[in-house]
Every structure is written in structure tokens, then in C-alpha cells.
């Protein structure tokens, strides 16, 4: 996988999340650990999760408690004031703290492809001022949370030859730790963050502040890595050369059982003739979940399974419980990256009608795309510049207008035709085995690690 035998080295991966369901971190950490290196993942704490654990694949996870007040002068005074106000710590409420990038508290029905219904143009002066104030507080929260994670991470950092900073709130932590230990740094820019989620909704001047901060971090890193060519092009144009290295979010090669398992049928008590349309991933705005809920009404003998968690979970539970859904919407909790492909393989169709609400969404190639290929499951994806070329090239599914539930339903019905389904399933599996697999992407990453550190990984 790299030039010459691996020389034992130390890798620290810095996450701005708890890391429970982070497939990319799992793949990198498990691959590097399997080659004899020492791997530590520094993540954020959450009640109920161990502060330290060793993954069965051989890497260590350390979770640190983050309180933005730790980054302020006289933090004890601020804590006393907070206790008097009865306000609990909210480090996980800032952008980047969620395990689901871009998560928001917007109800399922409150956004569309044209954006939020209550746009700044429809607000009065007072509304715009409140929005500006809220946005400024959000920026301050980002800065304080990063500083707090830096301070907490220094106490658990074992030192490393290479630090891999995940996302725009992980890279400043990685840079700070590397400066103390003399290690090199990779910035894993997994999204175009200023054009994604909550950051995309910030007023222009505040978004420019975040963009400038990220540009500085990217230029200080020894290498920037991202997940697809469209993202790399945007980042190179924004930050200057060199163009980021592309390491796609492909899954491990997988051989589905024959016959395929029916895990969802067993879990949910469904009749064997029912077909499973699976959405798996973050329950957040603009992921196409609302469109799928409408589309499933026009797909006979099928159930929409929503596997994941996030800000919209309560709204989706209400939608599933609505008698009008006829029991055809089911929610199931997320599973670990190790188990995920086996569950995906138990679906009949994987659907990802991500909405084109931001540049980041238009260019995205989400994990679930490659997980569907790895599982050999046909897919329905948005006809957008990021996803569409891969779906079209592989012939593993159909692309649709993501804002049109009728088109989504028609595509699902077409795929569920037995002959079409068999053909597309075979194409998906072949594409994953031949090109879109983690082994090929890990080779690219490990060679770059070796170039940066001067020793083979």
C-alpha cells in the first residue's frame, strides 16, 4: 500500500465530534493501526460514552470534555454566573460539534430547495439585527470551543509524527498540538464548510471571517486532503495551490450474503414481500428526507427506513407515527461503521435525494453513495454535479430531480423491477470491487503520509 515496508510511526487524529459514527475516521485509524503504527483519536466527550477506549482494530480513542468557558479569562467566575442563571454547558451546540455536519433545529417542513421561508429580506430591521447578533455569538462560540478543545487536548496528546485534523474545527487543534510536539499536519477538509449547513446561513461578513480563518489553517497544514475532485477544485481556487489531495469516502470491499439478509424485516417485524427503501445518515435539513416521505406513498409494497440520528429526529418520529403514513415510515438507530455495510446490504434501494441548497450539497459525494455501492444495492441520487457522474458512470442507479417526490418515487419503482434491480445491484458491486473501495483510497493517503513524514507508512 506504500513504498517499502512500513516504519512504525505515531498518528493522532483530531475530531470535533464524539466520533461514534465517523466512518472516515474509523477507516483511516483502523488501516494505519493494522500496519503497525500507534494511532490515537482525540474526540469530544459526551455523557454515556467512555472517556477512553481501545477499538478492536487496535487504535485508541480519548474523549476530552469541552467547555467554551475554559477559553475565557477567569473561567471559574463565568461558571458561577452560569450556575446562577441555571444554564448548562452547551459545547455541543456550536457548528461542527455535532456528529452530523450541518445539522440544524429546523423542522422537517420548514426548508425547501429555495431556502428558509423566513429569509433576511422578509425580516424587519429588528429581525436582521437579532440575526446578526445571533450569528456573531455563533462565531464567538466556534472560537471559544476550538480554544477549549486545544487546552483539553494538550493534556491527553501522546505526541505524534503526524496529526490528521478533521474538519474546520479539528484542524486548528491539530496545528496547535503539532506545534508543541514537532509533528506534521494534514487537514482533512471533508466539506466546503463556509458553503454548508449553519455556516452557509451566516451573514456575508461573518462568513468571510470563518473563510479567512480556515484559509489560514489550510495554508499552515503540510497537506490538505478532501473527498472529491469538485471540492478540491473549489478549495484550490479559494486557498491557492497546491490542489488538495483527493481521498474518496469509499467503503471496504464487501461480499453480500447470498441470499441477502433481511435484517430490517426481522428488526421491524415486516412481511417478507415488503421492500426496503433506505435512507441512512444524518437527520438534518436539506438531505431529502421530507421528499422521501412524500415519495414513499407512491411506491407500493415498500417501507421507508430512516437509519440515523440528528436534529430532526423528533419531527421524523412524529411523521412516522402519523396515521396518514400507514406505518410505511420507520426509524431505526444508527450502527457503528463496522456493522453499517451489512445493514445497508439488507435494503432493496438506497435513496439520497440531497437538496441543492448550497454549493456544498451540489458538489457532495456522500458516504452513503459509496456504502450503497459496497453493499451492492441500487441507489437513487440527486442529479447534481457531485453524485450524478458516479451514478451514471457505474450504472448502479438512477439520478433524479431531488425536489420532485414524484420523480423520486418513479425512479424507486423502476429500480424495484426484478430484472432492473439485479442488473444494477451487480453493477454496484462491480464498481465497488474494481474502483470505489477503501483499499485504493488508503493507498493514496498512505503514500502522502510517507511523503510528508519522510518515512513509509
Q: Is residue 78 part of a domain?
A: no
pLDDT of 285 over the 60 cut: yes
Q: Indicate if 343 and 377 belong to the same structural domain.
A: yes
Confidence band (pLDDT; 50, 70, 90) for 141?
confident
pLDDT in tens, 323-359: 999 999 999 999 999 999 999 999 999 999 999 999 9
pLDDT of 70 over the 80 cut: no
Q: Is residue 205 part of a domain?
A: yes
For the ranges 199-203, 282-286, 378-382, the lowest mean pLDDT is seen at: 199-203
Per the DSSP assignment, residues forming a β-bridge with 281 are 308
Q: Is residue 116 part of a domain?
A: no
Q: Is residue 112 part of a domain?
A: no
Q: Indicate if 332 and 207 belong to the same structural domain.
A: no
Q: What pLDDT sits at residue 117?
A: 36
Q: Indicate if 168 and 63 belong to the same structural domain.
A: yes
Q: Is residue 102 part of a domain?
A: no
Are 103 and 94 spatial neighbours (Cβ–Cβ below 8 Å)? no
Q: What pLDDT sits at residue 112?
A: 34
Counting the structural domains of the chain, the total is 2
| Residue 58 belongs to domain with CATH number | 3.40.50.2000
In degrees, rounded to 5, the angle at the alpha carbon of residue 240 between the alpha carbons of residues 238 and 241 is: 135
Q: Give the domain range for residue 399.
A: 263-434
For the ranges 63-77, 134-148, 205-219, 346-360, the lowest mean pLDDT is seen at: 63-77
CA dihedral 352, 353, 358, 362 (to 10 degrees): 80
Question: pTM value?
Answer: 0.87
Write the secondary structure of the chain as one string of H (helix), E (strand) and C (coil): CCCCCCCCCEEEEECCCCCCCCHHHHHHHHHHHHCCCEEEEEEECCCCCCCEEECCCCCEEEEECCCHHHHCCCHHHHHHHHHHHCCCCCHHHCCCCCCCCCCCCCCHHHCCCCCCCCCHHHCCHHHHHHHHHHHHHHHHHHHHHHHHHHHHHHCCCCCCCEEEEECCCCHHHHHHHHHHHCCEEEEECCCCHHHCHHHHCCCHHHHHHHHHHHHHHHHHCCEEEECCHHHHHHHHHHHCCCCCEECCCCCCCCCCCCCCCCHHHHHHCCCCCCEEEEEEEECCCCCCHHHHHHHHHHCCCEEEEEEEECCCHHHHHHHHHCHHHCCCEEEECCCCHHHHHHHHCCCCEEEECCCCCCHHHHHCCCHHHHHHHHHCCCEEEECCCCCHHHHHHHCCEEEECCCCHHHHHHHHHHHHCHHHHHHHHHHHHHHHHHCCCHHHHHHHHHHHHHHHHCCCC
Handedness of CA 357, 361, 367, 368 (dihedral sign): positive
Bigger pLDDT: 141 vs 165: 165
Q: What pLDDT sits at residue 89?
A: 57
Long-range CB contacts (within 8 A, 24+) of 205-209: 206/132, 206/135, 206/136, 206/138, 206/139, 209/139
Q: Indicate if 216 and 281 belong to the same structural domain.
A: no
Q: Indicate if 326 and 305 belong to the same structural domain.
A: yes
pLDDT in tens, 72-131: 776 666 667 667 777 655 544 333 333 333 333 223 333 333 333 344 444 566 656 566
Q: Indicate if 229 and 281 belong to the same structural domain.
A: no
- What percent of the chain has pLDDT above 90? 79
Q: Indicate if 218 and 354 belong to the same structural domain.
A: no
Q: Indicate if 307 and 346 belong to the same structural domain.
A: yes
Amino acid at each position: 500500500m506504500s513504498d517499502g515496508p512500513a516504519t512504525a510511526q505515531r498518528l493522532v487524529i483530531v475530531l470535533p465530534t464524539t466520533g461514534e459514527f465517523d466512518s472516515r475516521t474509523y477507516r483511516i485509524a483502523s488501516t494505519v493501526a493494522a500496519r503497525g503504527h500507534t494511532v490515537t483519536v482525540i474526540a469530544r466527550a459526551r455523557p454515556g460514552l467512555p472517556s477512553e477506549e481501545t477499538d478492536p482494530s487496535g487504535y485508541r480513542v480519548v474523549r476530552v470534555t469541552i467547555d467554551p468557558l475554559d477559553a475565557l479569562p477567569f473561567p471559574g467566575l463565568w461558571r458561577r454566573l452560569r450556575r446562577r442563571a441555571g444554564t448548562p454547558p452547551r459545547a455541543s451546540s456550536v457548528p461542527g460539534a455535532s456528529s452530523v455536519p450541518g445539522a440544524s433545529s429546523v423542522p422537517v417542513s420548514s426548508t425547501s430547495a429555495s431556502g428558509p421561508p423566513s429569509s433576511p429580506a422578509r425580516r424587519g430591521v429588528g429581525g436582521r439585527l437579532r440575526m446578526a447578533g445571533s450569528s456573531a455569538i455563533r462565531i464567538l462560540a466556534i472560537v471559544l470551543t476550538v480554544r477549549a478543545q486545544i487546552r483539553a487536548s494538550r493534556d491527553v496528546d501522546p505526541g505524534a509524527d503526524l496529526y490528521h485534523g478533521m474538519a474546520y474545527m479539528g484542524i486548528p487543534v491539530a496545528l496547535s498540538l503539532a506545534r508543541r510536539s514537532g509533528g506534521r499536519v494534514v487537514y482533512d477538509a471533508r466539506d466546503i464548510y463556509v458553503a454548508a449547513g449553519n455556516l452557509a446561513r451566516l451573514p456575508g461578513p461573518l462568513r468571510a471571517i470563518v473563510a479567512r480563518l480556515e484559509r489560514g489553517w489550510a495554508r499552515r497544514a503540510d497537506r490538505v486532503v478532501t473527498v472529491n475532485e469538485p471540492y478540491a477544485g473549489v478549495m484550490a481556487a479559494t486557498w491557492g495551490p497546491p490542489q488538495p489531495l483527493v481521498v474518496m469516502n469509499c467503503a471496504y470491499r464487501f461480499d453480500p450474503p447470498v441470499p441477502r439478509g433481511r435484517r430490517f424485516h426481522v428488526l421491524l417485524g415486516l412481511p417478507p414481500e415488503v421492500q426496503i427503501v433506505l435512507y441512512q445518515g444524518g437527520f438534518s435539513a436539506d438531505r431529502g428526507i421530507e421528499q422521501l416521505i412524500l415519495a414513499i406513498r407512491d411506491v407500493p409494497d415498500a417501507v421507508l427506513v430512516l437509519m440515523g440520528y440528528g436534529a430532526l429526529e423528533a419531527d421524523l418520529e412524529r411523521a412516522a407515527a402519523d396515521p396518514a403514513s400507514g406505518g410505511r415510515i420507520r426509524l431505526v438507530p444508527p450502527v457503528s461503521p463496522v456493522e453499517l455495510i451489512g445493514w445497508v446490504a439488507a435494503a432493496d434501494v438506497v435513496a439520497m435525494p440531497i437538496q441543492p441548497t448550497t454549493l456544498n450539497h451540489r458538489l457532495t459525494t456522500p458516504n452513503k453513495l459509496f456504502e450503497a455501492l459496497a453493499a451492492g444495492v441500487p441507489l437513487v441520487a440527486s442529479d447534481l454535479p457531485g453524485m450524478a457522474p458516479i451514478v451514471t458512470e457505474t450504472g448502479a442507479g438512477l439520478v433524479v430531480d431531488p425536489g420532485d417526490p414524484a420523480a423520486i418515487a418513479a425512479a424507486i419503482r423502476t429500480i424495484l423491477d426484478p430484472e432492473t434491480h439485479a442488473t444494477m445491484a451487480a453493477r454496484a458491486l462491480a464498481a465497488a470491487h474494481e474502483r470505489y473501495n477503501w483499499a485504493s483510497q488508503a493507498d493514496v493517503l498512505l503514500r502522502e503520509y510517507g511523503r510528508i513524514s519522510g518515512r513509509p507508512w
